[in-house]
Amino acid sequence: MAATTLEPSLSLQINRDSHQNGVVIEEIDGLIRVYKGGHVERPLIVPCVSCGLASELGVTSRDIVIDKFTNIWARFYVPKSNGKLPLLVYFHGGGFCVGSAAWSCYHEFLAKLAAKAGCVIMSVNYRLAPENPLPAAYDDGFKALMWVKQEAISGASEWWSRQCNLSSVFIAGDSAGANIAYNVALKLSSNSTTLKPLGLKGTILIQPFFGGEARTDSEKYMVQPPRSALSLAASDTYWRLSLPPGANRDHPWCNPLARGSSRLEDLRFLPIMVCISELDILKDRNLEFCADLGSSGDPCRLYPYTEVVAGCCLAYLDYHTSMDKFDFGSSWLAVGFCLNFPGQWCLVILPLAIHVA
Question: CA 326 to CA 300: how far, in whole Å?
Answer: 29
Prior bond of 197 cis (ω within 30°): yes
Residue 339: its pLDDT value, please? 52
281-301 residue pLDDT tens: 999 999 999 888 877 666 667
Cα radius of gyration rounded to whole Å, the chain:
19
Cβ contact 120:78 at 8 Å: yes
Catalytically active residues, by annotation: 175
Tell me the residue length of the chain: 357
All domains of the chain in start order, with CATH: 4-41 (no CATH), 55-350 (3.40.50.1820)
CA angle 148, 149, 151 (to 5 degrees): 65
Residue 345 φ then ψ, to 5°: -70, 150
Q: Using 50 as the pLDDT threshold, list the residues of the chain that sit under it.
A: 1-18, 307-319, 321-333, 336-338, 340-345, 352-357
Q: How far apart, in whole angstroms, are the C-alpha atoms of residue 142 and residue 67?
A: 12
Residue 150: CB atoms within 10 Å? 10
In DSSP terms, 35 is beta-bridged to: 24
Question: How far apart are the C-alpha atoms of 40 and 247, rounded to whole Å?
Answer: 21
Q: How many CA atoms within 13 Å lie on the side-chain side of 284?
A: 11
Annotate 122-136 with b (16+ C-beta within 10 A) or e (fewer).
bbbbbbbbbebbbbb
Residue 4 pLDDT:
42
Q: Model's pTM, two decimal places?
A: 0.86
pLDDT the model gives residue 156? 76
Q: What's the maximum distance between 2 C-alpha atoms anywhere in the chain? A: 58
pLDDT digits (tens, 9 = 90+) for 59-78: 999 999 999 999 999 999 99
Given this model, what pLDDT does residue 79 score?
96
Q: What is the pLDDT of residue 177?
A: 96
Q: Helix-strand-coil percent breakdown of the chain, rounded to 5? A: 30, 20, 50
Please give the pLDDT value at position 72. 97
The angle at the Cα of 172, spanning 10 to 194, to the nearest 5 degrees, equals 135
239-287 pLDDT per residue, tens: 999 999 999 999 999 999 998 766 666 676 678 888 888 778 999 999 9
Report CA-CA distances (Å) from 66 to 74, 92, 93, 288.
Answer: 7, 16, 19, 35
> In this structure, are strands 200-206 and 164-174 parallel, antiparallel, or unpaired?
parallel
